[in-house]
C-alpha cells in the first residue's frame, strides 16, 4: 500500500512539473510568428515609380592633344537644375529558390541656357565671360544582375551577385558663333552586388542593395557606387507601394574618340513607387 502511495505521489509530481513546461512550450509556439511577405516569396516583381534627384555634375572634355582641360560644373556654371524628377522602372525574376535576375532603369535629361559669369573651356573651345551658351546633359543607367541568396528563410535573406551598369552620357555646350561641341560615353561597368530583404510583417518589409565597381585599365579609369534602401508596404496580394532612397556616384576618366576627358557625377534622392508581384 505504501509503495502504491509513493508511486502515485511520484506520478503526481512528474505531472505537476511537466504540465507547466508543456503549457509554456505551447504558449511559446503560439507566440512565434514568422512573417510571409511577397517580396521574399513571389517569383515575379515589377516596379514603376518616381525619383526626385539632387544632382552634382562635373565634366572635362578636350581633344586628344588638348592637355588636362578645365572642369565644368553643369549646375553652378551652366545653370542646370540641380533637383529634378524622373521615372524609375525595375523587374525581378526569382527563377529558383535562392537565385534571381533583376534589372532597373532610370534616365535624367537636362538642358539650360545661361550667360557665363566665368570663362570655360570645352573641347578646346573657349567661351568667355558674358557669352550666352546652351548646354545639354543627358544620362541614363541600366542595371542588370544575377544574384544568389546564401542565407534565406521565409522572412529574411542575404545575398551576393554579379551585375553590370550600362551608363550612357551625352554632354554638350553650344554657342552660334563659337561652335557646338559635345562628347558621348557608353560605359558598361561590371559590378559586385550585396543585397538583403527582411519581412517585418505580412505587409511590411525592408530591403537594401549595394553595387560597387572600380577599375583602372589602359586608357580607362572609373568607379561606381550605387545603393538603394526601400520600405515596402503590400496591403493587397499582388499590389504594393514603396518609399526609398537612392544614391548613385559615378566617375569615369577615359581617352576615346567620342570623349577624351573626365566625368564625375552624383545623384541622391528619395523614390516613391508601386509594385506588382505574383
Report the alpha-carbon distance of residue 276 to residue 49 in Å, rounded. Answer: 12
The verdict on 100 and 2 lying in the same domain is no
Checking phi first, is residue 179 left (phi over 0); if not, alpha (psi -120 to 50) or beta? left
pLDDT above 60: residue 177: yes
Instruction: Label the pairing between strands 204-217 and 179-199.
Output: antiparallel
pLDDT digits (tens, 9 = 90+) for 134-147: 999 999 999 999 99
167: closest CA among 254, 89, 252? 252
> Are 196 and 251 within one domain?
yes
Query: Is 120 found in the same domain as 1?
Result: no
DSSP state of 119: -
* 59/4: higher pLDDT: 59
Q: Say yes or no to pLDDT of 64 above 80.
A: no
- The pLDDT assigned to 67 comes to 62
Tens-digit pLDDT profile for residues 91-100: 999 999 999 9
C-alpha cell at 178: 563659337
103 and 3 belong to one structural domain: no
Indicate if the pLDDT at residue 225 is higher than 80. Answer: yes
Alpha-carbon span 256 to 64, nearest angstrom: 8
Q: How many domains does the chain have?
A: 2
| DSSP class of 35 | -
Nearest to 246 by CA among 145, 149, 94, 106: 106
Tell me which of 1-10, 73-82, 167-176 is least confident: 1-10
Q: Would you say residue 218 has pLDDT above 80?
A: no
Same domain, 83 and 9: no
Residues 132 and 232 in one domain: yes
C-alpha cell at 154: 521565409
Domain of residue 268, CATH code? 2.40.128.90
**Residues 259, 184 contacting (CB under 8 angstroms):** yes
User: Do residue 24 and residue 82 come from a single domain?
Assistant: no
Assess whether 59 and 194 both reside in one domain: yes
Q: What is the DSSP letter of 4?
A: H
Among residues 136, 108, 112, which one has the least CA distance to residue 51?
108
Q: Does 183 lie in the same domain as 259?
A: yes
Residue 37 has pLDDT above 50, yes or no: yes
Q: Are residues 52 and 162 in the same domain?
A: yes
Is residue 23 predicted with pLDDT exceeding 60? no
CA angle, 42 then 48 then 193, to 5° = 65
Domain that holds residue 28: 1-32
For 235-260, the pLDDT digits (tens) are 999 999 999 999 999 999 888 888 88
- Examine the pLDDT at 193 and tell me if it is beyond 60: yes
Q: What average pLDDT does the chain have?
A: 89
pLDDT surpasses 70 at 102 = yes
Are residues 3 and 103 both part of a single domain?
no
pLDDT tens digits, 103-133: 999 999 999 999 999 999 999 899 999 999 9
pLDDT at residue number 8: 44
The mean per-residue pLDDT over the stretch 253-278 comes to 92
Q: Are 55 and 105 in the same domain?
A: yes
Band the pLDDT of 20: cuts 50, 70, 90.
very low
Amino acid at each position: 500500500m505504501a509503495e502504491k502511495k509513493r508511486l502515485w505521489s511520484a506520478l503526481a509530481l512528474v505531472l505537476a512539473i511537466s504540465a507547466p513546461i508543456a503549457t509554456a512550450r505551447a504558449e511559446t509556439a503560439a507566440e512565434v510568428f514568422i512573417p510571409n511577405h511577397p517580396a521574399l516569396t513571389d517569383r515575379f516583381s515589377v516596379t514603376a515609380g518616381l525619383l526626385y534627384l539632387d544632382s552634382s555634375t562635373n565634366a572635362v572634355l578636350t581633344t586628344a592633344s588638348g592637355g588636362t582641360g578645365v572642369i565644368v560644373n553643369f549646375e553652378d556654371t551652366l545653370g542646370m537644375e540641380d533637383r529634378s524628377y524622373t521615372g524609375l522602372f525595375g523587374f525581378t525574376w526569382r527563377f529558383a529558390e535562392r537565385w534571381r535576375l533583376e534589372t532597373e532603369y532610370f534616365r535624367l535629361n537636362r538642358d539650360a541656357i545661361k550667360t557665363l559669369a566665368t570663362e570655360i573651356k570645352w573641347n578646346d573651345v573657349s567661351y568667355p565671360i558674358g557669352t550666352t551658351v546652351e548646354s545639354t546633359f543627358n544620362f541614363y543607367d541600366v542595371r542588370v544582375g544575377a544574384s544568389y541568396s546564401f542565407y534565406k528563410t521565409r522572412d529574411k535573406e542575404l545575398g551576393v551577385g554579379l551585375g553590370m551598369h550600362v551608363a550612357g552620357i551625352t554632354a554638350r555646350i553650344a554657342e552660334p558663333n563659337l561652335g557646338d561641341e559635345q562628347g558621348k560615353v557608353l560605359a558598361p561597368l561590371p559590378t559586385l552586388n550585396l543585397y538583403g530583404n527582411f519581412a517585418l510583417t505580412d505587409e511590411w518589409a525592408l530591403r537594401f542593395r549595394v553595387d560597387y565597381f572600380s577599375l583602372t585599365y589602359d586608357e580607362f579609369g572609373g568607379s561606381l557606387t550605387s545603393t538603394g534602401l526601400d520600405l515596402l508596404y503590400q496591403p493587397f496580394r499582388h499590389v504594393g507601394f514603396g518609399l526609398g532612397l537612392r544614391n548613385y556616384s559615378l566617375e569615369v576618366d577615359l581617352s576615346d574618340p567620342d570623349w577624351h576627358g573626365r566625368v564625375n557625377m552624383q545623384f541622391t534622392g528619395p523614390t516613391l513607387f508601386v509594385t506588382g508581384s505574383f
